């Protein structure tokens, strides 16, 4: 328990607590404003966390993300513009409640289910991650190769929209991962003679470009409609009894979300859709879904916040991101000298537990801050785009500059912003590209070093039992859709 | 808004795959390595070509090659280009004008272009760049480019 | 940089009151570029040193990480910075052989070498369940087992720890590639791979292995320095087992070539003062890092000698292009 105590001391410091509070407030505002998403908020926060100690830095990201995913429900419920893709699954139900004159009901249910779902996810993270880490000390480059392949396969198969376009996005990400010096052979690849590119594409400016600049481009319009939000009744009235009555949905949402989130490559967005579908299938009144019914809203609302926390399990244990946010987190962990992997659970367990504790704290903060933002929502929704977008643009520029103290980062941000915008315009999902960039390097490096160790013997990939097991999972993952297609044909 | 035909996307992917593969031929062999620097890029290049081919064949999109939505032909198109131009302007002039002036100009131009009134927009733009300078330049010690205004402030 | 940018920068320089008097140097914050990641050895050393250096220079010191590309990006940025004394760097041994392995046109001549600040010796570490009880047993096994039996890591190919492995074999009279050197991205992943059974040896720094050794996951068998280290009093040196070899990674303060002589002198003076401060010495020693200071002349001579030695070893490893 010593470790827990040390961790508590690391968190219970005024600067850490203030950081969590500030990041939470920022997150809840960002999520509530249409056009600003959780991932974008995280991408813009990273250049600042860059200068903090590890615990407040990671805590700030965790807090901001949890808040933004919840408050993304607000513009969804009030204006039918989901603030984050994770809110899109149940936006119709929440908006129908607003039209029926009860906006506070939908938002209250979102808040309550987000809180409980978030806590379930954190508890899973706290108990599963260290156990998994213990097990993962048995992983050598061979197992890591399979894990990276597993993550990429999930990213390609479960991505939203056209599967083929998801694959194209993934391929683009893999290509970007090759840029720079191949560290095994010392060979510069696709650097076009630029020494700045020899270090590879800086991940964080690329991310800021793909998530924030893209959003500015989409919102850059002269005739943005002036949103008007309805008045709000008391938020907590009747909330408790509804949640108690729907305890099955809350619990199932939290657990499903935790499991989906822990899969590499599948994050809160997918968790919300999966849970909504489960709720509908198990409901006694599936025909009411989408017309202001509470079951799907509760289950998916709990699910996306649970997924947010459990996505950190593969991130911390294997260095494999669970979603776009944790993909950014991996970059931050490396910047902090905290290489994700089972070793940090042995080397600095107090740091890991401190991160868990700040997660729990951030989720509990949802209650007061969420209540406050629901009251304030009417005003937040009215911030004019003509001021908001320039502010975001300048934050993008200075953030991209600060990572390497070089205008080169700003250039990377610009290039990836344009690419991200073209992707979205053409229905190509961005998330697989992000995972491709992160996992591509890992996949190649572990393949090549495994081959060096075995002197070219491919059997090395199935000789160790865990490796063989992981390989089988990857194989099944790819075989399943093929088999299903064959069966439906005959 | 600016949508390529699905077949065009496929063709772009095929061309990209060819470019990646042809880019690997200059790589040198590493001693004692069976799978050199070119191995993975070639796999990915081949995958790009294959995925592109499937995309071309499976495309049901019979529309024109590039569709530009009507609103993009209007002033919004210039606005979007303007956002990109603002970043390029920042990159080109920041070394000369310094962080404060360049950032103010970029924010002001975008605000006004999006329909804000010039006077309040100037206030917001100047306040914003001062805040960023304070947070990043002063507190976080990022060496933001110095220029005309910063050169006059001897205390920085 | 494009032509336009160059012209604009020129205009900006003409506008600035800077460069007025060297006597005032330094009159604004100084940046030290670290070509490696945060939390790594170089970063730790420079950040410790900077606390003392800040006082000695009388100006704030910004430590900035520019990592990536096996150190090329950061070293290139140091070499290409304006030689005005406001951008310094933390050069590491790579500057002596970037050119010979064909990574970048960088040699010690592209830098103003101010002084080495610290050394971290190479070590030999094995997993807890390794059959080799101590250093003599391991040395015996390296001689008797066939080539390729041992697989070691700790850095990238051609990195300092790869050279340590090759130099150790050479001192034993064995072929320099008898131990397979598997590249890794730093010490932590290499150690993880060894703990999981993927490798049977780690020839990186004992500093990196310390936490795992304390946790009982690995055993540090030996250290490749001339004398035992205060941080690892129980770990014998190679020389105690009759292997005449020592190799340390070194970490230095440097600047772009062409620094004005007064500035170099001022920097060397301030660096010596900062380095001698008790806080810096203690903080380094506490982490198992050996503080070291040699000044501009000695450091330049040493770098030239190191370049020769490294060139020979890398040539035998077949890595020279």
- Which other chains touch chain C, taking contact as 3+ CB pairs less than 8 Å apart? A, B
- Give the model confidence (pLDDT) of B96-148 as tens digits: 899 999 999 999 999 999 888 999 999 999 999 999 998 888 877 778 888 77
Which run of H or E residues covers position C207?
A: helix C206-214
Q: Give yes or no for a contact between B109 and B85, defined as CB atoms under 8 angstroms apart.
A: no
Higher per-residue pLDDT: B99 or A328: B99
Q: Give yes or no for a contact between A362 and A16, defined as CB atoms under 8 angstroms apart.
A: no
Q: Give yes or no for a contact between A335 and A442, defined as CB atoms under 8 angstroms apart.
A: no
Rg (C-alpha) for chain B, rounded Å, is 24
Indicate yes or no: CB of C212 within 8 angstroms of CB of A199.
Answer: no
What residues of chain B lie within 8 A of the CB of A390, using their CB? 106-108, 110-111, 114, 124-125, 128
Indicate yes or no: CB of C68 within 8 angstroms of CB of A195.
Answer: no
The per-residue pLDDT of chain B, averaged, comes to 85
Distance in Å, alpha carbon of A253 to nearest chain C alpha carbon: 36
Residues in CB range of C105: below 8 A, 6 or more apart: C98, C99
Residues 51-90 of B with CB under 8 A from C: none
Query: Where in chain B are the domains?
Result: 2-68, 72-152
Indicate yes or no: CB of C184 within 8 angstroms of CB of A199.
Answer: no
Indicate yes or no: CB of C8 within 8 angstroms of CB of B143.
Answer: no
Decide: helix, strand or coil at residue C254: strand
Query: Where in chain A are the domains?
Result: 2-489
- Which other chains touch chain A, taking contact as 3+ CB pairs less than 8 Å apart? B, C
- ipTM of this predicted complex? 0.92
* Partner residue opposite C17 with nearest CB, options B92, B141, B151: B151
What residues of chain B lie within 8 A of the CB of C18, using their CB? 151
Q: What is the DSSP letter of A210?
A: I
What residues of chain B lie within 8 A of the CB of C4, using their CB? 92
- Give the model confidence (pLDDT) of A259-309 as tens digits: 888 876 667 878 888 888 888 888 888 888 878 888 888 999 999 889 988
Q: How long is chain B?
A: 156
Statement: residue A160 has pLDDT above 70: no
Please give the residue of chain C at the shortest CA–CA distance from B98: C12
What residues of chain B lie within 8 A of the CB of C29, using their CB? 141, 143
Indicate yes or no: CB of C68 within 8 angstroms of CB of A347.
Answer: no
pLDDT tens digits for chain C (321 residues)? 444 554 444 444 444 444 444 668 888 889 999 998 777 789 889 999 999 999 999 988 888 888 878 888 899 999 998 898 999 999 999 999 988 888 888 999 999 999 999 999 999 999 999 999 999 999 999 999 999 899 999 888 888 899 999 999 999 999 998 999 998 887 888 888 899 888 999 999 898 888 888 888 899 999 999 989 888 899 999 999 889 999 999 999 999 999 999 999 999 999 999 999 999 998 888 888 889 999 999 999 999 999 998 999 998 888 887
- Which other chains touch chain B, taking contact as 3+ CB pairs less than 8 Å apart? A, C
Structure tokens at A244: 């108690």
* Partner residue opposite B96 with nearest CB, options C12, C31, C317: C12
* Partner residue opposite B55 with nearest CB, options A164, A186, A451: A164
**The predicted structure's pLDDT at residue C128:** 93
Residues in CB range of A94: below 8 A, 6 or more apart: A73, A76, A77, A106, A107, A110, A297
Mutate to test the interface with B, among C5, C12, C33 (most CBs of B within 10 A): C12
d(CA C307, CA C321): 15
d(CA C209, CA C198): 16
- Kindly report whether the peptide bond that precedes residue C26 is cis, defined as omega within 30 degrees of 0: yes
d(CA A485, CA A61): 41
Structure tokens at A16: 């850490």
Which run of H or E residues covers position C222?
A: strand C218-223
Residues 145-204 of C with CB under 8 A from A: 148, 151, 156-158, 180, 182-186, 188-189, 191-193, 195-199
Rg (C-alpha) for chain A, rounded Å, is 22
Provide the 10 A C-beta neighbour count for residue C230. Answer: 10
> From residue A323, how far is each of A24, A60, A130, A299, A433 by CA, in Å?
20, 17, 20, 20, 11
Residues 3-62 of B with CB under 8 A from C: 28, 30-32
For chain B, the distance separating the N- and C-terminal CA atoms, rounded to the nearest angstrom, is 46
Instruction: Quickly state the pLDDT bin for B41 (edges 50, 70, 90).
Output: very high
Residues 200-229 of A with CB under 8 A from B: 213, 216-217, 220-224
Rg (C-alpha) for chain C, rounded Å, is 21
Percentage of chain A exceeding pLDDT 90: 19
Statement: residue A247 has pLDDT above 60: yes
Indicate yes or no: CB of A183 within 8 angstroms of CB of C183.
Answer: yes
Indicate yes or no: CB of B114 within 8 angstroms of CB of A190.
Answer: no
Any C CB within 8 A of A334 CB: yes
Distance in Å, alpha carbon of C64 to nearest chain B alpha carbon: 9
Q: What is the DSSP string of C6-38?
A: HHHHHHHHHHS-TTS-GGG---S-EEEEESS-T
Please give the residue of chain B at the shortest CA–CA distance from A173: B44
Mutate to test the interface with A, among C31, C48, C67, C69 (most CBs of A within 10 A): C69
Distance in Å, alpha carbon of C61 to nearest chain A alpha carbon: 14
C interface with B, Cβ–Cβ below 8 Å: 4-5, 8-9, 11-12, 15-18, 28-29, 31, 60, 62, 64, 157, 177, 317-319, 321
Indicate yes or no: CB of A410 within 8 angstroms of CB of B86.
Answer: no
In chain C, the domains with their CATH numbers are 28-120+250-316 (3.40.190.150), 123-241 (3.40.190.10)
Residues in CB range of C241: below 8 A, 6 or more apart: C135, C136, C139, C222
Residues 387-446 of A with CB under 8 A from B: 387, 389-391, 393-395, 397-398, 401-402, 405, 407, 410-411, 413-414, 417-418, 422, 425-426, 428, 440, 443-444
CB pairs under 8 A between A and B: 184
CA dihedral A330, A334, A337, A343 (to 10 degrees): 60
Q: Give yes or no for a contact between A392 and A215, defined as CB atoms under 8 angstroms apart.
A: yes
Structure tokens at A344: 């940090």
**The predicted structure's pLDDT at residue B14:** 95
What residues of chain A lie within 8 A of the CB of C76, using their CB? 195, 198
Indicate yes or no: CB of C319 within 8 angstroms of CB of B31.
Answer: yes
- Give the model confidence (pLDDT) of C290-321 as tens digits: 899 999 999 999 999 999 989 999 988 888 87
Sign of the CA dihedral with A25 first, then A389, A42, and C43 last: negative
* Partner residue opposite C196 with nearest CB, options A137, A181, A338: A137
- Give the model confidence (pLDDT) of A451-471 as tens digits: 988 888 899 999 999 999 999
Indicate yes or no: CB of A217 within 8 angstroms of CB of B80.
Answer: yes
What residues of chain B lie within 8 A of the CB of A187, using their CB? 27-28, 30, 36-37
Any C CB within 8 A of A137 CB: yes
Decide: helix, strand or coil at residue C61: strand
d(CA A254, CA A275): 9
The 3-class secondary structure across A69-132, one letter per residue, is HHHCHHHHHHHCCCCCHHHHHHHHHHHHHHHCCCHHHHHHHHHHHHHHHHHHHHHHHHHHHHHH
* Partner residue opposite B96 with nearest CB, options C11, C18, C64: C11
Q: How many helices (H) and strands (E) does chain C have?
A: 10, 11
**The predicted structure's pLDDT at residue A489:** 64
Please give the residue of chain C at the shortest CA–CA distance from B90: C5
Q: What are phi and psi of C176, to 5 degrees?
A: -65, -15
**The predicted structure's pLDDT at residue C92:** 94
Distance in Å, alpha carbon of B154 to nearest chain C alpha carbon: 9
What residues of chain B lie within 8 A of the CB of A172, using their CB? 16
Percentage of chain A exceeding pLDDT 70: 96
Any B CB within 8 A of A198 CB: no
Indicate yes or no: CB of B115 within 8 angstroms of CB of A386.
Answer: yes
Statement: residue A349 has pLDDT above 50: yes
């Amino acid at each position: 328990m010593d470790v827990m105590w040390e961790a508590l001391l690391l968190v219970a410091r005024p600067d850490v607590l203030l950081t969590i509070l500030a990041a939470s407030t920022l997150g809840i505002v960002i999520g509530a404003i249409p056009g600003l998403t959780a991932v974008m908020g995280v991408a813009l926060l990273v250049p600042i966390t860059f200068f903090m100690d590890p615990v407040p830095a990671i805590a700030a990201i965790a807090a901001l993300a949890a808040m933004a995913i919840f408050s993304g429900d607000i513009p969804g419920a009030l204006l039918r513009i989901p603030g984050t893709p994770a809110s899109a699954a149940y936006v119709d139900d929440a908006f129908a409640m607003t039209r029926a004159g009860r906006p506070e009901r939908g938002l209250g249910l979102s808040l309550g289910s987000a809180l409980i779902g978030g806590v379930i996810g954190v508890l899973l993270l706290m108990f599963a991650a260290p156990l998994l880490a213990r097990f993962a000390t048995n992983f050598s480059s061979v197992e890591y190769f399979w894990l990276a392949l597993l993550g990429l396969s999930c990213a390609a198969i479960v991505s939203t929209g056209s599967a083929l376009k998801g694959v194209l996005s993934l391929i683009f990400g893999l290509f970007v991962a090759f840029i720079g010096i191949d560290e095994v052979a010392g060979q510069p690849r696709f650097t076009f003679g630029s020494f700045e590119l020899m270090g590879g594409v800086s991940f964080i400016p690329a991310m800021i470009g793909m998530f924030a600049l893209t959003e500015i481009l989409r919102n850059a319009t002269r005739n943005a409609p002036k949103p008007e939000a309805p008045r709000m009744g008391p938020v907590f009235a009747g909330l408790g009894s509804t949640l108690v009555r729907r305890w099955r949905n809350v619990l199932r949402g939290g657990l499903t979300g935790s499991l989906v989130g822990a899969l590499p490559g599948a994050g809160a967005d997918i968790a919300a859709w999966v849970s909504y579908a489960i709720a509908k299938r198990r409901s006694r009144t599936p025909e009411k879904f989408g017309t202001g019914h509470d079951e799907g809203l509760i289950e998916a609302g709990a699910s996306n916040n649970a997924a947010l926390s459990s996505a950190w399990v593969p991130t911390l244990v294997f260095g494999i991101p669970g979603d776009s946010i944790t993909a950014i987190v991996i970059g931050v962990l490396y910047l902090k000298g905290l290489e994700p992997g089972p070793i940090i659970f042995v080397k600095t367990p107090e740091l890991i537990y401190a991160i868990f504790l700040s997660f729990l704290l951030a989720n509990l903060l949802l209650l007061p801050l969420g209540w406050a933002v629901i009251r304030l929502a009417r005003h937040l929704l009215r911030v004019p785009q003509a001021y908001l977008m320039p502010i975001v643009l300048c934050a993008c520029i200075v953030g991209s500059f600060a990572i390497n103290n070089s205008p080169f980062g700003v250039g990377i941000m610009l290039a990836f912003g344009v690419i991200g915008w073209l992707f979205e315009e053409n229905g190509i999902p961005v998330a697989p590209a992000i995972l491709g960039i992160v996992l591509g390097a890992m996949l190649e490096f572990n393949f090549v070093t495994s081959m060096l160790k075995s002197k070219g013997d491919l059997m090395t990939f199935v000789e160790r039992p865990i490796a063989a097991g992981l390989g089988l999972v990857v194989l099944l993952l790819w075989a399943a859709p093929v088999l299903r297609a064959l069966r439906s044909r005959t | 808004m600016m949508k390529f035909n699905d077949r065009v996307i496929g063709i772009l992917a095929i061309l990209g795959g060819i470019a990646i593969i042809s880019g690997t031929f200059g790589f040198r062999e590493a001693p004692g390595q069976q799978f050199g620097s070119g191995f993975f890029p070639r796999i990915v290049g081949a995958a790009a070509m294959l995925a592109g081919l499937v995309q071309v064949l499976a495309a049901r999109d019979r529309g024109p090659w590039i569709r530009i939505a009507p609103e993009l032909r209007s002033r919004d198109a210039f606005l979007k280009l303007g956002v990109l131009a603002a970043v390029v302007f920042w990159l080109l002039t920041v070394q000369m004008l310094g962080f404060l002036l360049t950032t103010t100009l970029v924010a002001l131009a975008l605000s006004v272009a999006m329909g804000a009134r010039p006077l309040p927009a100037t206030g917001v733009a100047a306040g914003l760049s001062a805040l960023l300078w304070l947070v990043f330049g002063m507190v976080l010690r990022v060496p933001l480019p110095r220029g005309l205004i910063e050169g006059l402030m001897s205390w920085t | 940089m494009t032509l336009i940018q160059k012209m604009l920068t020129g205009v900006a320089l003409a506008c600035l009151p800077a460069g007025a008097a060297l006597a005032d140097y330094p009159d604004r914050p100084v940046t030290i570029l670290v070509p490696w990641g945060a939390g790594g050895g170089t970063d730790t050393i420079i950040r410790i040193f900077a606390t003392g250096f800040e006082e000695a220079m009388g100006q704030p010191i910004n430590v900035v990480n520019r990592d990536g590309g096996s150190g090329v990006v950061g070293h290139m940025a140091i070499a290409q910075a304006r030689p005005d004394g406001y951008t310094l760097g933390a050069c590491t041994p790579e500057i002596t052989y970037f050119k010979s392995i064909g990574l970048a046109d960088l040699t010690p001549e592209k830098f103003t070498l101010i002084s080495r600040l610290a050394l971290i010796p190479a070590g030999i570490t094995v997993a807890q369940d390794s059959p080799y009880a101590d250093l003599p047993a391991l040395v015996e096994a390296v001689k008797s087992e066939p080539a390729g039996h041992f697989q070691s890591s700790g850095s990238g190919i051609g990195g300092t720890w790869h050279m340590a492995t090759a130099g150790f074999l050479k001192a034993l009279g064995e072929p320099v590639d008898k131990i397979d050197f598997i590249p890794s991205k730093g010490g932590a992943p290499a150690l993880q791979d060894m703990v999981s059974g993927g490798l049977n040896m780690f020839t990186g720094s004992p500093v990196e292995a310390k936490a795992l050794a304390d946790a009982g996951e690995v055993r540090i068998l030996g250290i490749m320095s001339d004398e035992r280290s205060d941080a690892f009093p129980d770990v014998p040196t190679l020389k105690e087992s009759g292997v005449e070899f020592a190799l340390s990674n070194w970490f230095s303060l440097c600047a772009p070539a062409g620094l004005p002589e007064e500035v170099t002198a001022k920097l060397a003076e301030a660096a010596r003062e900062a380095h001698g401060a008790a806080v810096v010495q203690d903080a380094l020693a506490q982490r198992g890092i050996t503080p070291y200071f040699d000044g501009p002349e000695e450091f330049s001579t040493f770098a030239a000698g190191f370049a020769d030695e490294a060139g020979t070893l890398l040539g035998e490893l077949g890595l020279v292009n």
